[in-house]
Amino acid sequence: METFFIIMLVLMIIGAIIAVETKNMLSAVIAAGVVGFGVSVLFLFLKAPDIAITQVIVEVLSLIILIRVTTKADNEAIERKIDSFANIAGLVFVGIFVGFCIWAFVDMTPFGTPLMRVSQHYLSAGLEETGAANTVAAVILDYRAYDTLGEAVVIFTSILGAFVILRSRGKKKIYEEDYVKVGIPE
Amino acid sequence: MKQKDIEQIIHDDHTGMSLIVKTVARMMIAVIILFAFYIILYGHLTPGGGFAGGVILAIAYTLMMLAFSRKMALHKFSDFWASFWDNIGMLAFIILGFLGLNSGYFLYNFIWHGKPFHLVSAGIIPLANIAIGVKVGACLYAIFIGLSIYGRLIIKEEE
Q: How far is CA B150 from CA A24, A162, B17, B77, B146, in A?
A: 30, 10, 21, 15, 5
Average pLDDT over residues B91-96: 89
Flag whether residue B92 sits within 8 Å of chain A, measured between CB atoms.
no
Flag whether residue A26 sits within 8 Å of chain B, measured between CB atoms.
no
The alpha carbon of residue A14 is apart from the nearest alpha carbon of chain B, in Å, by 27
CB within 8 A of B35, min separation 6: which ones? B56
Provide the percentage of residues in chain A whose pLDDT is more than 70.
84
pLDDT of B34 strictly over 90? yes
Tell me the pTM.
0.70
pLDDT attached to residue A78: 62
pLDDT attached to residue B107: 79
pLDDT band at A77 (very low <50, low <70, confident <90, very high): low
Of the listed ranges A157-171, B73-87, B96-110, B112-126, the least confidently predicted one is: A157-171
Q: Following DSSP, what letter does each residue of B29-79 receive, concatenated?
A: HHHHHHHHHHHHHTTTTSS--HHHHHHHHHHHHHHHHHHS-HHHHHHHS-H
What number of other Cβ atoms are within 10 A of residue A64's Cβ?
10
Q: Please state the separation of Cα A99 from the chain's center in Å.
A: 20
Residues in chain B within 8 Å Cβ distance of A149: 93-94, 97, 107
pLDDT, one tens digit per residue, over A107-120 is 777 777 776 777 88
- 8 A C-beta contact, residue B112 and residue B123: yes
Average pLDDT over residues B95-113: 83
pLDDT attached to residue B31: 93
Mean pLDDT: which of A141-150, B29-38, B39-48 is highest?
B29-38
- 8 A C-beta contact, residue B28 and residue B14: no
Cβ–Cβ gap A131/B123 under 8 Å: yes
pLDDT, one tens digit per residue, over A10-36 is 999 999 999 888 888 888 888 888 898
Q: Please state the separation of Cα A65 from the chain's center in Å.
A: 14
Q: Please state the separation of Cα A115 from the chain's center in Å.
A: 26
pLDDT attached to residue A175: 62
Residues 125-144 of A with CB under 8 A from B: 127, 130-134, 136-138, 140-142
Residue from B56, B55, B9 nearest B31 by CA: B56
Rounded to whole angstroms, the Cα distance separating B115 from A30 reads 53
Cβ–Cβ gap A127/B116 under 8 Å: yes
On average, the pLDDT of chain A sits at: 80
pLDDT band at A182 (very low <50, low <70, confident <90, very high): very low
Residues in chain B within 8 Å Cβ distance of A173: 159
ipTM: 0.77
Rounded to whole angstroms, the Cα distance separating A100 from A44 reads 8
Residue from A114, A137, A135 nearest A125 by CA: A135
Compare A97 and A167 and report the one with higher pLDDT.
A97
Flag whether residue A175 sits within 8 Å of chain B, measured between CB atoms.
no
- 8 A C-beta contact, residue B95 and residue B101: no
pLDDT band at B56 (very low <50, low <70, confident <90, very high): very high
pLDDT of A185 strictly over 50? no
Phi–psi pair at B98, nearest 5 degrees: -70, -30
- 8 A C-beta contact, residue B32 and residue B114: no
Rounded to whole angstroms, the Cα distance separating A4 from A37 reads 15
pLDDT attached to residue B74: 81
pLDDT, one tens digit per residue, over B66-78 is 888 777 888 888 8
Of the listed ranges A51-55, A98-102, B41-45, B112-116, the least confidently predicted one is: B112-116
Provide the percentage of residues in chain A whose pLDDT is more than 90.
7
